Structure 1
Amino acid sequence: MPTLAETIEWNDHPVASSLAYGTVDVRIGTVGHGGPVGLVVASVHGDEGPWGTLAVNRLLASVRREELLGTLRVVPVAHPLATEADARQTHLDLLDLNSSFPGDPGGSHTQRLAAVLAEHAVDGADVVLDVHGGGSWNINCFTYRFPGSEHVAEWMGTPLILDGPDRASSLTGYARVRGAVAVWIEMGGRGEFEEDRAATVTRGLRRALGKAGVLTEADLPDEPGTPATGKLPLSTSRPGIYQPVLRESALGTVVEGGTVVGHLLDPVSNEVLETFRAPFPRTALALLRPTLARIESPGQVVALVAEIV
């Protein structure tokens, strides 16, 4: 039987960029007819690596066409220029695509890109799964939920579930304004277990699309995540060298308050300038810098934690 990857119809939408590039195409795929309409997006931020795109393409390759009940739209790389540069945004305007919706067809590159995605991908969708992830500097393992999408966040199967930033200018925020149920997935990052994280996203996408009625329900066990509240970034107060104590294997676990997460070192003497500790009695580790890293300025995040109550 043919798979979704073999039957999906791809359309390239040109987005004006610069004199050097002229236009840059963003590829949007559609397969199926009728409702419900599901949308899966990856690489809204170009520095979040290939893991989301990998998970999306594995989903398409693993699902047979006969399992499709409604319509599935797919955007494997939402921000091509930023992804090419391994940067959060493009140098053309330095705008965050995930703060640019619904976009402006006559604006800068990122604003035009947001307008294309809004019109051709988000509008008319019933359920939106926006796949982000760790990148070259961090690993993470949670899903952001919003009012009305708590069940979808549970379907994704990430270790942790957090309350998301509810702003209308994000892709999920715009989708919610347009009537969709949406979640924002943060699961990925470079490391020994990167394949496991990508596999978790692929399973979560399949499970969520099945339970939402876009696909037939999959024979997958539930992988309920742990809800956490009061998310808090642990950030540096000065430049230095970050030395993690809790590394990749600690991601997604819960540690006792006071547990040392890492240290900021003087780059010359290696004197400890700052120590980062778990701030809550039961602290969930949602994002970590898992390796030695140069910190060039104050305010750099070394971990994102939340409280288990």
Structure 2
Amino acid sequence: MTLTSTREYKEVIVTHLSNGTPLSLPIHTIRGVKEGPVLGVSALVHGDEIIGAEIVRRVYNRLNESELSGTVRLLPVANPLAFESMTRNTPLDMNNLNRVFPGDKNGWVTDQIAHAMVKNFLDEIDVYIDLHAGGAVPVVDYVYIQNDEELSRAFNFPVLYRPAHPYEGTTATYTVEKGIPSITVEVGGGPNYEKDIERGVEGIFNCMRKLNMLPGAVIPPPEQVVMTEIASIRPMQGGIMVPEFDFNSVGTVIEGNQVLARTYNPRTFEELEVIRAPFQRNLVILTRGLFNKVSPGDYGFMLGNLDTAEEK
């Protein structure tokens, strides 16, 4: 059946801020010329993960609806308040949007955003891709395996993660419970390299080919490794952090308990903390590869244990 392709844009009003400005969710809808699934792609659930917005923009600009079977719904800025302040959490209530789904229309403003996203976006899709990043400083690179391993592999990232205990209250928690095939992507952050933006764009298009939403052959995945054990290391001391490895270490293996970074007191020059790799074979998944200020409890490093990994 041939349909008429269309593009639409709407802003869903969540609430109004104290200055009278509406708080809204921007949603683009692209309908193809043939019947097919509804794919939803979201970005900036965390406000300091800006690479997702650029990936979504490029998908919007390059997608040819005359070749599209089905519908694509794009939400490039899921948390406008956190994006404005370039913070992980919503500044008005300091809650993490990706821990409160399905939200509450009578709750904190973060709960209200989640509720509006559920009712106007997540409840209207058949397949879901959620784009995340390392944040303002760290760089990250992996794809979660949620409830559709083949689709996660089709994003064609070399590292996947099968968590034993997934986070509660995420967008994917909600969609997985509804039986919606879901992918959570972690890419870039800090310096958002052009190659990572393009990998995100191509990953989405390859998944669309996998779903028969676009013509063309599905590009087979590269050699992939599935992590089942990842250590998240947060600095316990604030100060100036001097890393031993730069951002190029993402995706490489660090052997043994080598030093990852040293943190010193900028006032006294005292060395406050030495952070070491936790495993014998450490796959670098997220790192702070830049001399920078660090606060206690910040995201520091994520290292995968290659000795417990599933290697394809």
Question: TM exceeds 0.5?
Answer: yes
Counterpart-to-counterpart distance in 2, 1:96 and 1:55: 22
Counterpart-to-counterpart distance in 1, 2:154 and 2:268: 48
SS of aligned partner of 1:45: coil
Aligned in 2, Cα 1:204/1:25: closer, same or farther, shift over 3 Å?
A: same
Deviation at 1:305, TM superposition (A): 0.8
The corresponding residue for 1:266 is: 265
Gaps of 5+ in 1: 1-5
Comparing 237-246 with 31-40, which one deviates more in the overlay?
A: 31-40
Deviation at 1:218, TM superposition (A): 5.0
Aligned in 2, Cα 1:61/1:219: closer, same or farther, shift over 3 Å?
A: farther
Counterpart-to-counterpart distance in 2, 1:241 and 1:184: 32
Alignment of 1:66-77 (within 5 A): 66-77=66-77
Gaps of 5+ in 2: 308-312
Deviation at 1:219, TM superposition (A): 5.9
Instruction: Determine if contact 1:124/1:178 at 8 Å carries over to the other structure.
Output: no
**What RMSD, in angstroms, separates the aligned Cα atoms of the two structures?**
2.0
Instruction: Determine if contact 1:38/1:73 at 8 Å carries over to the other structure.
Output: yes
Counterpart-to-counterpart distance in 2, 1:295 and 1:190: 14
Alignment of 1:55-74 (within 5 A): 55-74=55-74
Alignment of 1:271-286 (within 5 A): 271-286=270-285
The corresponding residue for 2:179 is: 179
Instruction: Determine if contact 1:40/1:75 at 8 Å carries over to the other structure.
Output: yes
User: What TM-score, normalized by structure 1, do the two folds share?
Assistant: 0.90
The corresponding residue for 1:138 is: 138
Deviation at 1:17, TM superposition (A): 4.0
1:308 aligned onto 2:306:
yes
Aligned in 2, Cα 1:217/1:270: closer, same or farther, shift over 3 Å?
A: farther
Counterpart-to-counterpart distance in 1, 2:96 and 2:125: 22
Comparing 227-236 with 31-40, which one deviates more in the overlay?
A: 31-40
Q: What is the aligned residue count? A: 300
Comparing 12-21 with 28-37, which one deviates more in the overlay?
A: 28-37
Deviation at 1:52, TM superposition (A): 0.8
Cα displacement string for residues 247-271 of structure 1 (whole angstroms, at most 9, x for unaligned residues): 1111111221223221122323434
Alignment of 1:87-102 (within 5 A): 87-102=87-102
The one-letter code matched in structure 2 to 1:95 is N
SS of aligned partner of 1:123: helix
Counterpart-to-counterpart distance in 1, 2:212 and 2:106: 36
Comparing 34-43 with 196-205, which one deviates more in the overlay?
A: 34-43
The corresponding residue for 1:35 is: 36
Deviation at 1:189, TM superposition (A): 1.4
Aligned in 2, Cα 1:255/1:62: closer, same or farther, shift over 3 Å?
A: same
